[in-house]
Amino acid sequence: MQVRRGSPLIRQSGAFSSPATKKHHIKMTAKIAKNALSIVTVHILDGKQWLDISVPRGWSQVKKMMPLVLQHNGRDHVFRGWDSDKNLAFFAENYTTAKVTK
């Protein structure tokens, strides 16, 4: 016999539920983050933090990112180069950025 979720038989038997899942409902959804980038690795080189950012669209994506200042954990990072073979852009921590205000 095939039983569907939500049928009276399942509600009576308690199948597909446990006390833990009844107390803490976990939503199985995700949202696309605006202005978020995929960081492949974070490492320290010569005392500065470096971010390796995935750029799957290659140079067309990199040239749009070059003038940007990226913030990661409260630190500013500026573009320093890219690897066309691995499609990675490199951003290094920078201590000389300024905030533009209007």
**Residue 25 in 3-state DSSP?**
coil
The residue with tokens 């009576």 is 12
Q: What is the dihedral angle through the alpha carbons of 90, 40, 73, 69, rounded to the nearest 10 degrees?
A: 30
> Which whole number is the average pLDDT over 39-51?
93
Could you give the CA distance from residue 30 to residue 45 in angstroms, rounded to a whole number?
Answer: 34
Domain boundaries, the chain: 26-93
pLDDT at 83: 97
pLDDT at 48: 92
pLDDT at 14: 47
pTM of the model: 0.65
pLDDT at 34: 84
Could you give the CA distance from residue 83 to residue 59 in angstroms, rounded to a whole number?
Answer: 10
pLDDT higher than threshold 70 for residue 40: yes
